[in-house]
Every structure is written in C-alpha cells, then in structure tokens.
Amino acid sequence: MANPVLLSLEPRASAAADIEWLTSLDPVIYEAAVEAMDARVAAILDGSAPEAVWLLEHPHLYTAGTSAAPEELIQPSRFPVFRTGRGGRFTYHGPGQRVAYVMLDLSVRGRDVRAFVHALENWLIATLARLGVEGKAHDGQIGVFVGEAKIASIGIRIRHWVSFHGVSLNVDPDLTHFAGIVPCGLTSPVTSLAALGINADMPRVDAALRSAFEETLGPLSANWSRAP
C-alpha cells in the first residue's frame, strides 16, 4: 500500500532544480513522517529519487534526541514523547511551527557535518532576514536566536552521508508548551515570529525559506561557513 504521508505531499518546483520541494498541508503524525523520511533516504541512496526538502507541521508532541537527558522532560504527561534518532535534546513540535526536513546528499556536498549544520543555521538566518528579523547563531549552541531567545532549532541525522530530520522555526505556536521540557537543554527563553510582532503566515514563511535556500544550501552556494 502506498504511504499516505507521501500521498499527502504536494510537489513544488524548487529553486534548486535537482532538489524536490514538498509541502504537506495537513499536520503529519511524527511516526509517519519518520517512516516517510526513511523511505526517501533509501530512495536517494539507490538513485530512484532526488534530494528533497519537506515542509510540514506536526500535532503536539515532544521529541527526544540522542543527547536528551531524562530530567529535561519536566511534564511527561503533557504530550506524547517520541524518542528519535536525530541529534540534539528535547524539543517541542506542534501547530504554528514550521518544520523543514532536509534529505540531502552530503557525499556531493563535502561530507562535513559541522559545516552542514552551520549552513542550516545560515539558511534560517537568511529566511528570518527576509521576514524582517535579525537572527544570530550563538557560539557553542546549535540553532538560531533573536537576542537571547531561541526561535529555531536544528536536529539532524546522517545515514550513509544522506541527511534527514532538519530544522523547526517558531512561526506562531503556543510558546507555553515549551515549559514541559528544557528545550534543547537551554535555560534561555523561546520566541516566535508572532511574539516578535511579525505578521507572517505559513505561505509567507515558506516563500522565505525557499528564497533563502539556494543562497545557503543550493548548488550555487559553495560557502557553508557560519554567518557572522
């Protein structure tokens, strides 16, 4: 039977011709998203599918990365908790948050995981700039911040040099839900575009993500260093 998650994806033309851009209009159950990513990574590895970027939202849940500590789950009964193979610690996913899963072949992109993470940060920073927000990367921390408040998280996994999982950007989620965890192991506050007074719906955010993608991750960009 065809995967219903894959059937819910709507192909869109990417700024990078060799990368398929996908958007799910309805929230995607996390377990189904992981299954779909596993299938896509396998297809990229065997040459039957191109690289892909997948934009979606999830229903409410907490996810625990490979570095998550049990004591960082403060309210275990608040939402379902999914332990996943991505890097990082605990984070929240839910409505109002744009998740972008990146299934890219790093074997043709330098095989440098650290540089790839910095490129993802640069992508988010460039996206925020298009929305009128100055985002920054903080030394020693992964993700993107506005001042001291975190607005975007990164958690990836690499399989045979193909990436999956990806980034999440807080557009207009209920920020109180982050109180159920120590997000990413940090005590710094969490913010969103809405909390910053930015009127940006998902189509506008998606347009900014797509516009910024080639600048930082597409085939025309060879510079994967961290933005200043």
* Active-site residue, 184 included: yes
| Alpha carbon 133 to its chain's center | 18
- From 33, 36, 44, 208, select the one nearest 135 (Cα to Cα): 208
d(CA 99, CA 109): 22
Q: Please, are residues 87 and 181 in contact by the beta-carbon 8 Å criterion?
A: no
d(CA 8, CA 68): 31
- E strand or H helix at 90, and its extent? strand 90-93
Helix (H/G/I), strand (E/B), else coil: 37: helix
State both tokens at 166: 């990806």
Q: Please, are residues 65 and 155 in contact by the beta-carbon 8 Å criterion?
A: yes
The amino acid at residue 15 is A
Catalytic residue, from 119, 184, 205, 209: name it: 184
Catalytic residues: 184
